[in-house]
Amino acid sequence: MRAREGESLEAILRASLVRLAEAVEGVAALRPEVEQRYQERLTQRLIAATGDEFNRQRLLEEVAGLVDHSDISEELERMVTHIGHFRELLTAGGEVGKKLDFLLQEMNREANTLLSKTGGVGGKGTRITELGLAMKADIEKAREQVQNAE
């Protein structure tokens, strides 16, 4: 009976991982366009704030710094790594509940950071927000399953 429950739980968790991986891929595909939009929005705001009296090179340096700060590539890479590690633990079997729970906490942190960096961009950024929220929902569902199994 426990073996069947374990197999069922593994299937549920693997389905969650598939959805998480798809969301990460979706965000990665949207990333370049959203970064460009973010840079344009920042440039427009800074020009509006400084008027004609500004150092364009300095302005571009500041915009580049802000865009770099909003870069989500590291979060996406870590999510892919966590998903892969999670799959490895599921395949290995045994008592892995605490490790899975920890990985899900880390995935939740990455999703939160991703959402905080892309909030308010508009356009395709809204789609990233939707995908990020879907990630968080799947992570929470998986955490509930893992905690029930412990």
Residue carrying the six token digits 């998480």: 20
Q: What is the pLDDT of residues 92-120, one digit of tens each?
A: 888 888 999 999 999 999 999 999 888 77
- Is the pTM for the entire model greater than 0.85? no
Q: Which residues contact 30 (CB under 8 A, 6 or more apart)?
A: 124, 125, 127, 128, 131
Whole-angstrom distance, CA of residue 35 vs CA of residue 125: 9
Whole-angstrom distance, CA of residue 131 vs CA of residue 28: 11
| Residue in 100, 112, 107, 89 with CA at minimum distance from that of residue 19 | 107
The confidence score (pLDDT) of residue 52 equals: 63
The confidence score (pLDDT) of residue 36 equals: 82
Q: Which residues contact 1 (CB under 8 A, 6 or more apart)?
A: none
The confidence score (pLDDT) of residue 93 equals: 80
Residues in the chain predicted with pLDDT less than 70, given as ranges, are 1-3, 52-54, 149-150
